[in-house]
Structure 1
Amino acid sequence: MPSSTPLVAFVIGFGPNIGDSVASLLKEHGYAVAVGSRNPDADKVRKEGYFPVKVEATRQASISAAFAAVNAELGPPNVVVYNPAIHQEPTDLSDPSTLPLDTFNDVVAIGSNVFVAIQEALKGFRSGKHENHPKAFIVTGNILPADNTLSPFYFSLDIQKVIESRIVGQFARANEKTGLRFVYATLVGDDGGIPPYDLFLKSGDLHAQVYWELINSKNGLWDYRFTLDGKKLANYVSL
């Protein structure tokens, strides 16, 4: 599809598993890719073909500044992947109140700052500069918002992902007829639950391929759950 505006992606939470694989696949498909992390190795990232961006996902101003940097260097992104996460167990696994308050504040901030990132992304999505391009905002999720066991072990991730999923769901429903995609994408085990951790740590390429399919699909569930074979989980009740 011809356009004078380049394809641009911004991966927030660039790391060695999902972030790296998603950025690599998007680059292969012709995207100019910005990658955001707390302390990017700028020289290394540039040699890999990406635009490095310093971003602290717990700070609203940092997210806004990161988008400004991407817009100035590459243009507004038509694809944003929100991938940061914090997991820290409470000191006493039987008592969620023993999660350090600083950690609790950080996970709440990372979750709620999806709202800030979406606001920034929408400026580009709605500008008309990507009229002929897909426009997608994908959050790397997990199954905890749909899990009623409420394990204190996952308390920090649970809080973060519940917030993120509700925000994504609101924007997805508000944009059902606009062509803008908002997806909370979750890798699950074959039974629909939490996948084996060792396999999750090797799931970067799988996430990248599924995200690529979501970016280029015109519609579908915003609460998208997929299994280790890359297929949509069958017969689940969406959030």
Structure 2
Amino acid sequence: MCLTAGGTLAQALDTLSREIARDAKSDDIYPLVRTAVHAAAAKAVPHRRRHAHARRKDNDVFAGLPYAEQQQVLEAVIMVFPAAYEPLSPDYCDAANRIAEFLPKINDMTLPCLSIGGVAIFAYLHHRTGAVRVSVDLDETWTTLCRVDSTVPVRVDVGDTIVFDDSNQARATNAIVPAPLHGIAAQFTPDEVECLVRTAAETFGTAKENRSTRQLDLVGRAHAALMREYGEEETP
């Protein structure tokens, strides 16, 4: 966002405030947003000018700022207001990351939390499961991050392993993790599919004449995996 020809810093800040309010879930937050944006801009004004204007009757810290300094103030402000950029663009992500909040546990009703983009990510030690537990709350996710199908692009890495990936990139490259089931398999949970595969493995060697080459291959692979699990050798 740049100052338009003949435009003022205050006008640019108002435009930014309207863009943020438009994308927010609340319908009537423009006055609050405008106050926050202007306050951020006032802090970004060079200290020497803040001090000088504090003694003026109009107390307008933007008054008399040269164009170059007005643009610098505007750029400093939009760095912490992601709505100034295209959603998930490099600048949007950078701005959102700059205003992330780290919240510690303060009582028995709270947990350590990272809040970014409206997403609350809780990471804490859990005594009942005896583990480091991570949970994600997407209820307050910024609307600019939500897809048209109301889902939120999420990817989870543990070390160098991707354990969950429904990011926009994964969808575009058909590389979602875990891979979604299709056909009638989509009607079953992963645990149920596991049960079906084990059941098929136990039928290895029977009714071969009624099975296709592909079915025989799949049942054979399932049986081999089952035998490895049991620590037994395959039956020839």
TM norm. shorter chain > 0.5? no
Normalising by structure 1, report the TM-score.
0.23
Name which one, 1 or 2, has greater alpha-carbon Rg: 2
Higher relative contact order (CA 8 A, sep 6+): 1
Normalising by structure 2, report the TM-score.
0.23
